[in-house]
Chain A
Amino acid sequence: MAEMGQGQRVPEIDLMSIQDIEVAFPSIVGTSYSEESPVTDTYNCIAFAVGDCHNWWWPRKGYGIYWPPGFPLTDSVDVLIAIFKVHGYSECDNSEIEVGFEKVAIYSINHRIKHAARQLRSGRWVSKLGDQEDIEHEKVGYLKNLSYGSATHFLRRRRTDWEDITT
């Protein structure tokens, strides 16, 4: 293993997390992935994909949950697409890296939102896993499972450096 400089984070996940993640997401076994945040239930994958690390986004009112005002309180993929469009995204066909664009992927089952992931400049993806940690993974397909379904919708926008929109 290459020597890491001082302050660089060793991209490792503790053994319990590895076991849990690989049981939950069988396709990720044997691929390169890393933990990118501590475990937190403050925000979820949709908030993280949009760029908000202070709220848990879900189409519910109250109970500590956030949903952008003016959008229907339904977990239809169409509603989430409309929200991403407000943030400058437009629909595209695939998850491949495109120079000058950043992408998000929506995972769904029966057209109902289950997960969202965001593409990094490197072409790899980051996902907030429920109330657990964020992970960086190579392909959107590696998080396909019975709970998330599969990545069914993709959107892109002109890339600017990603920033936390709440700060």
Chain B
Amino acid sequence: MATTSAEDCGKRYQRWGQNTYRKGGKPHYEWDSKPSTKSTLTSSRDAWSGRARPCTEFQDHIKIVDGFFGAGYGAHIVANCEAMRATARDAYGQKLFARLQVEKLRAEFNTLVTQWRNETKFLSSSDDKILHSAYQSIIAMGAAAVPLVLEELESRRGHWFWALHFMAKTDPVPEGANVDQAREAWLKWGRDNGYLR
């Protein structure tokens, strides 16, 4: 099981914006014992058993949390602190991993887009556009390439709605929408889901 060092915890709290727990550039509470695996609420008084006590200011904070949310809630936060940090690490890691995947795919994606545009731009048949090998290869890139397709849709338009439907496994386009409305619906979906700014 991972241990929680004071340094680690202090940095995490600072990352979460609670940098009032730092003095002189160092975390000013001690917390380097094993984190509790208890998930049930216990008395705040018992929260430090088996671990070093946090500084007075942090204990005051726990009391404030207890007072605000009810007795034991502060201890619950302490007990689950590691889990919360792990969740934050996972979320950050997943975002970073997704971004790396996108950048890894970008060159291949751009090549396929150029090929698809060059070879289908005079076609009116949606079937012929969709069934083109480059378009199918882009669909095969899967969810990882959704941000690239949305960027392309935003900057250069194009009939990407079919591909997006299968890659993102959703379809925000309202029934009866035309091309412009479908584009707007997907761009809004992209912004709402953090794929576009």
Contacts and interface: CB of A to CB of B under 8 A. Distances in A.
Contact of A65 (B120, B126, B128): B126
Nearest to B119: A147
A108 to B, nearest CB: 11
B123 A130 contact: yes
Question: Chain A contact residues: over half helix, strand or loop, or mixed?
Answer: loop
Max chain B Cβ within 10 angstroms of own Cβ: one of A41, A44, A115, A131:
A131
A131 B173 contact: no
A55 interface: yes
A92 to B, nearest CB: 22
Contacts of B173: 62-64
Interface residues of A, number: 31
Given A58-B125, A63-B162, A147-B128, A130 B120 contact: yes
Given A63-B165, A64-B161, A131-B159, A42 B179 contact: yes
B196 interface: no
Given A25-B122, A56-B178, A58-B127, 7 more contacts: A43-B179, A62-B161, A63-B159, A63-B182, A64-B180, A64-B182, A114-B125
Interface of A: 20-21, 24-25, 41-46, 54-56, 58, 60, 62-66, 75, 113-116, 128-132, 147
Interface of B: 120-128, 157-159, 161-162, 165, 171, 173, 175, 177-183
25 contacts: A20-B122, A21-B122, A41-B157, A45-B124, A54-B178, A55-B179, A58-B124, A58-B126, A60-B126, A62-B171, A63-B126, A63-B159, A63-B165, A64-B159, A64-B173, A114-B128, A129-B121, A129-B122, A130-B122, A130-B123, A130-B124, A131-B158, A131-B159, A132-B121, A132-B122
